[in-house]
Structure 1
């Protein structure tokens, strides 16, 4: 496969052709995105960084991913700035530095990047060793929520339900949870389910609990299963069982992905290793 794709070839592709290329096997998609990244296309630089971060179509390389995010950020990509912040917050390819993460998020947030607004809010309310500022966190969550960010909507609901930084307003919290739930956020779905179940609409609550579990991450599924099982309601216990089933599935998939990555790295190492027998043959000549 030829990974050197010219800029003119990229420009000449129709939207359908690009879509077809990117829906091909991961290695081919990665080659196309890499070529676009090397040709200075900022969006491709961010996407290729994400591919390197996830190991999609290429060997996983967080350090290289971070470098591509920086290249995109320095070229003016707000997505790149946000991802540089993520790397500093979570230690992806670079030492963890919450102050630098906050600086990067803030730079993108003030320009209207909704994910940066959400990430900054989360950092301000959750992160260890960072200057917590719940009132400022709510400010950024509200800004992102008003731009249609479902996860931010769920956080606004949580602030209003708990009375963090302002008087509690359960009715307003339910409205925000509902918006987050309809937007597809599993935390919003779970919180909306919880409020509906408690408000005397158990069937609606059960339906939303079940929906939330299908897209929730494994750690959330574990915690949700504990609470649902403790309720004693057979319908909720069944959802708890499904949550734990999804945890087991995720663990199996993670193990398989780790094995595939190890195999890929070993194959690359063997390919790069000197052929000793051939070297000895040369010395005998």
Structure 2
């Protein structure tokens, strides 16, 4: 059995009794087949299987000419068919028609409570099964279940193969009468779990001490099905013991020393000398021969006909009783009614559900980790609202009020800026316990989207979602605790929440960590670390991180200075409508840094940002319009843009040198200020204190 983690074997030898190798069972209708089927015994326990590394290799790993394969030719799987199923052990040839195995396999299987059997109905010896699932090259022999010799105390049995002498073709193993020595290297060859032949050789050796209480102690890995395996001395290549038991509580397995078996057995003594007498020709042997021929038939109809003929011709034989049970096992059984598919299975097969998950699915949703959401999902910023809304509504028609689908519908509605509908869907999903519904509802309350602003309620929903591990909710909580929004500021908790969100791969948390390291307020300042987090976030398309990383490249802070890289990052963010990046890209074109200088392109990007009411872009576009660079000179339009920039909070117009103004633009500005009701002076085209004071009144 599999060895436990290293323990003191000597301390356990007398405390833990040897127990027969654990049992493994297969269906009766697989008797006669090389590959055994296992349905009714699916719950058999194999307690040793959980301990340590299992050092047991398929014999086919080695060359057919290797010593392991040569010895393995004499070892086969012993299939013991009972009235309650087939229980495989291992056996090996000790003479031309004699094999050895454990007494607890034959006839002792009847005494095993776990087998729950009352009689042995047949025994077969399968040889040459070395490649798992491959039946070609295998041979099986019918075995008389009545032992030639057996001993329960020594747990060995000698059985006779009926009507054949495979030992002449496959060879026999030599039995050693030597005394086992401490730490001698061993091999064990057998059929654990009824599978193709395996060898245990790594860390396989005699224990120190090798003998205790009449048992041979060894450290070779075995599993159920290894009962009856030969323990082979690696030096003499003779069988030094018969494996028969193991313990789930220590690192030692047990074998019967072959010297004891030889001392007890006249049959084996004779078998190692002269050839044994052939089995007598009786009605039983003839019936078993017929049974063997029937079991060799691959066609089920032909097999059944042969078995029925055997029952008719030799009704009172053990072989006929075996045939009767096999015929019963072959009776056609109506296919069981397949169980109703589970909700998860029905959703996995539904195209609309898959479309909703794909088009609006949150990639951090807990259902992905549970295997209930098959699609990868996406980030919110990439949702295409119309097809996503349609898909999620179709899915909800089939699975009404499903929390995840409702949460994803809310995401799609929010992406479409349909805040009232999104709030309702978020709330429905959140109340049903959905993590994205809870996070989305928190955002709705935090920003007043579809409802009144309520930071306290927002925090409560973020806490619920974060408890389910959702990184967006953790990031939102981080912002709340960093800035003390409705709670006492807790920078340490904010940092922990950001870190957890970032480690989960959420780009928003990664961008926040970049900001923290750049600012150096919660952690030691590090532009290099900031750049690393911005890079991770920017790679996921986060426009804020792209802009922030662009600034670092433009300044050469934490990264090697590169105007070209900065311009590209600004462009990536600008194309996502990030207005500060649009302003920055306009500046790059105006200055000719990282791009070919172009007043026209500068004006285009300034206008794009200005249309979003970006204060700096409004001023920059006003200046270009005043100068006639990239756009036609237009004093009235320039004045209008200067007024708009002031109202948006930009004070560059106020602080501009008085002499920098063109007369026409200054006059147009004074007229515009008068129209705003903040200027009552003369419109003389000269910027003085009164004009500046009027501009100051427009600042928010």
Match of 1:201 in 2: 634
C-alpha change, 1:138 and 1:33, in structure 2 (3 Å) is same
Farther-moved stretch of structure 1 (16-25 vs 51-60): 16-25
Other-structure match for 1:148: 577
Using a 3 Å threshold, how does the CA distance of structure 1 residues 169 and 18 change in structure 2: closer, same or farther? closer
List runs of 5+ in structure 1 lacking aligned partners. Answer: 1-6, 250-285
Contact map agreement 1:63 1:92 (CA 8 A) in 2: no
Residue 169 of structure 1 is matched in structure 2 by: 598
Query: Which residue does 1:64 correspond to in 2?
Result: 493
Task: Pick one of 532, 543, 546 that aligns with 1:103.
Answer: 532
Check conservation: 1:151, 1:185, Cα contact below 8 A: yes
Moved more, 185-194 or 127-136: 127-136
**Deviation (angstroms), 1:162:** 0.8
Provide the rounded CA distance (Å) in 2 between the counterparts of 1:127 and 1:242.
Answer: 40
- Pairing of 1:231-270 with structure 2 (within 5 A): 231=660, 233=666, 235=669, 240-241=692-693, 244=696
Moved more, 55-64 or 153-162: 55-64
Superposition pairs of residues 68-83 of structure 1, within 5 angstroms: 68-83=497-512
| Structure 2 residue aligned with 1:93 | 522
Residue 57 of structure 1 aligns to a residue in which SS? coil
Aligned match of 1:118 = 547
**Residues 43-83 of structure 1, C-alpha deviations (whole Å, 9 max, x = no match):** 11111111222322112333322221111111121111111
Normalized per residue, the structure richer in strand is 2
Q: How many aligned positions are there? A: 238
In 1: Cα distance, 2:657 partner to 2:642 partner: 9
1:202 and 1:182 map into 2 onto residues whose CA distance is 19
TM-score, normalized by length of structure 2? 0.31
Note the 1:20-39 alignment, pairs <5 A: 21-22=445-446, 23-39=452-468
1:135 aligned partner = 564
Residue 161 of structure 2 is matched in structure 1 by none
Q: Structure 1 pair 76/172, CA: closer, same or farther in 2 (3 Å)?
A: same
Q: Please, which moves more after superposition, 29-38 or 188-197?
A: 29-38
Instruction: Specify the alignment match of 2:648 in structure 1.
Output: 215
Following TM superposition, by how much is the alpha carbon of 1:36 offset from its aligned partner in structure 2, in angstroms? 2.4
**Contact 2:553–2:562 (CA under 8 A) maintained in structure 1:** yes
Q: Secondary structure at the match of 1:102?
A: helix
TM-score (norm 1): 0.72
TM-fit CA distance, 1:105:
0.8
Q: CA deviation at 1:8?
A: 5.9
Report whether the alignment pairs 1:190 with 2:623: no
Matches of 1:240 and 1:36 in 2, distance apart? 51
Distance in 2 between the 1:162 and 1:114 partners?
23
Task: Report the CA distance shift for 1:245/1:153 in structure 2 as closer, same or farther (over 3 A).
Answer: same
Aligned-pair CA distance for 1:128: 4.8
Verify the 8 A CA contact 1:186 1:215 in the aligned structure 2.
yes
Between Structure 1 and Structure 2, whose CA radius of gyration is higher?
A: 2
Q: What is the Cα deviation at residue 210 of structure 1? A: 2.2
Unaligned runs of 5+ in 2: 1-429, 447-451, 671-686
Task: Output the CA distance in 1 between the equivalents of 2:440 and 2:478.
Answer: 23
Distance in 2 separating the partners of 1:105 and 1:72: 14
Deviation track 1:232-270 (CA, whole Å, cap 9, x = no partner) reads: 6363767854665687x7xxxxxxxxxxxxxxxxxxxxx
Q: State the shift of 1:14 in Å.
A: 9.0
**Cα distance in 2 between the residues matched to 1:243 and 1:85:** 37
Return closer, same or farther for 1:65/1:213 CA change in 2, 3 Å cut-off. Answer: farther
Alignment check: 8 A CA contact 1:52 1:64 kept? yes
Q: Deviations over 1:114-155 (max 9, x none)?
A: 111111001111365653211111111112222322221111
Query: C-alpha displacement at 1:17, in angstroms?
Result: 6.8
Question: Which residue does 1:179 correspond to in 2?
Answer: 608
| Distance (Å, rounded) in 2 between the aligned partners of 1:69 and 1:15 | 15
User: Does residue 158 of the first structure (1) align with residue 577 of the second (2)?
Assistant: no
CA distance in 1, matches of 2:572, 2:626: 29
Decide whether aligned partners of structure 1 residues 242 and 25 sit closer, same or farther in structure 2, where only a CA change above 3 A counts: farther
- Partners of 1:229 and 1:65 in 2: how far apart? 46
Cα distance in 2 between the residues matched to 1:38 and 1:239? 57
Q: Tell which deviates more after alignment, 13-22 or 157-166.
A: 13-22
Cα 1:96–1:183 change in 2 (3 A) is same
Closer/same/farther in 2, CA of residues 183 and 51 from structure 1, 3 Å limit: same
Distance across 2 between alignment mates of 1:68 and 1:28: 19
Q: Distance in 1 between matches of 2:498 and 2:438?
A: 26
2:135 corresponding residue in structure 1 = none
